[in-house]
Amino acid sequence: MSDKTLVSNARNYREIGEFWDTHDATEYGSQEPVEFHMDIRLHHRYFAIDDELCLKLRRIAEQRGISEETFLNSIVRERISQIEQGNRIE
């Protein structure tokens, strides 16, 4: 950490926390222009899933040692690939 932060003049993380406990970031928003880029393709999408399916998904993902998100994405990716190849397995 540098000697002091630009806004709070804090010397450590505790002082930074104490400063922001009593200040609002909107007070400092116009101090310095910033530029940033955002790739909206990285956003997550959320879909409702049946409770029973969710429980099964969670159990299987846990057994495989992977996250529910990873497991669900692999299932959907595999199924979409099958459909795109014309191998419709109903």
Distance between CA 64 and CA 34 in Å, rounded? 44
Model pTM?
0.48
User: What pLDDT score was predicted for residue 25?
Assistant: 76
Q: Do 45 and 76 belong to one domain?
A: yes
Cα dihedral 51, 52, 54, 57, rounded to 10, equals: 180
Q: Do 45 and 60 belong to one domain?
A: yes
Distance between CA 13 and CA 29 in Å, rounded? 21
Domain hosting 6: range is 1-36
For the chain, count helices (H), then strands (E). 3, 0
77 assigned to some structural domain = yes
89 assigned to some structural domain = no
Give the domain CATH number at 74. Answer: 1.10.1220
Nearest to 67 by CA among 90, 44, 84, 88: 44
Where the chain has pLDDT below 70, the residues are: 1-7, 29-32, 42, 87-90
- The total number of structural domains in the chain stands at 2
